[in-house]
Amino acid sequence: MPPKRLLVAPLVILFACKPPTPAEQMDSALSWVATARMAGDAWLRHTTPDKYTREILELCQQTLLQLGTKLLKAPVPGVDTASLDNLLTRSRGHIAQMAALVTAKNSPGFRQQLDSLISDEVLVKQFADSAESKQ
């Protein structure tokens, strides 16, 4: 028993620190764009405080930047890297604007940026589905 137990522990640690595959990174990118959208919806309905909304939007932005860099280095099969990079850059721009508009408490402006982000989300989903099918 003891040797087996000792074997499992390093494996668990290895797994928890294992780098994600390109397909998983695409899913993650979609998840973060969707998060920004859900956070945006929540703020417009006055269900989340300003400080938190700014924080999560900034987190979405940073994470998408890191994911974008990784996806450039390790391209996803079946996905046009340049188009994906443009899309993610555009999404990050919308999210950055949303964060600024939270501070300015500008709801109409925020709504506009959110709508643009929703359109981007559809495209990110298409990329993610394409990556999934090529796996």
Partner 1 sequence: MKKILQLALGIITSVGGFLEIGSVVTAAQAGANYGYKLLWAILLGTICLIFLVEMSGRLSAVSKHTIVDATRERFGFPFFSIVMLGIVAVAFLVLVAELGGIGLSLQILSGIGFRWWAIPVSIAVWLLMWKGTFGLIENGASLLGLVTISFAVAAVKMHPDWGSAAHGLLPTMPGDGKAKYGFMAVSILGASISPYLMYFYSSGAIEDKWDESYIPMNRIIAGFGMTFGGFLSMAVLVAAALALQPRGIDVEKFEQAALLMTPALTHWGFYLFAFSMLFACLGAALEISLAIAYFFAQGLGWSWSEDLDPSRDARFAFAYTIIILLGAIPLLFGIDPIKVTVMSMALTSATLPLAIVPFLFLMNDPIYLGKHRNGWLSNSVVAIVILISFVLAIISIPLEIIGG
For binding to partner 1 (CB under 8 A), which residues are involved? 1-2, 4-5, 7-9, 11-18, 21, 24, 27-28, 30-31, 34-35, 37-39, 42, 45-49, 51-52, 54-56, 59, 63, 125
Task: Name the minimum Å distance from CB 38 to partner 1.
Answer: 5
CB 90 within 8 A of CB 117: no
CA dihedral 62, 46, 42, 119 (to 10 degrees): -80
| Cβ nearer to partner 1, comparing 31 with 130 | 31
Is 63 or 106 the residue whose CB approaches partner 1 more closely? Answer: 63
Question: At its nearest, how many Å lie between partner 1 and the CB of residue 118?
Answer: 11
- Please, is 107 exposed, middle or buried when counting C-beta atoms within 10 Å of its C-beta (0-12, 13-18, 19+)? middle
Q: How far apart are CA 97 and CA 79, in angstroms?
A: 27
For partner 1, the closer of residues 14 and 82 by Cβ is 14
Report whether 39 contacts 57 (CB < 8 A). Answer: yes
- Name which of 49 and 89 has its Cβ closer to partner 1: 49
CB of 120 to partner 1, least distance (A): 13
CA–CA dist 69, 73 (Å, integer): 6
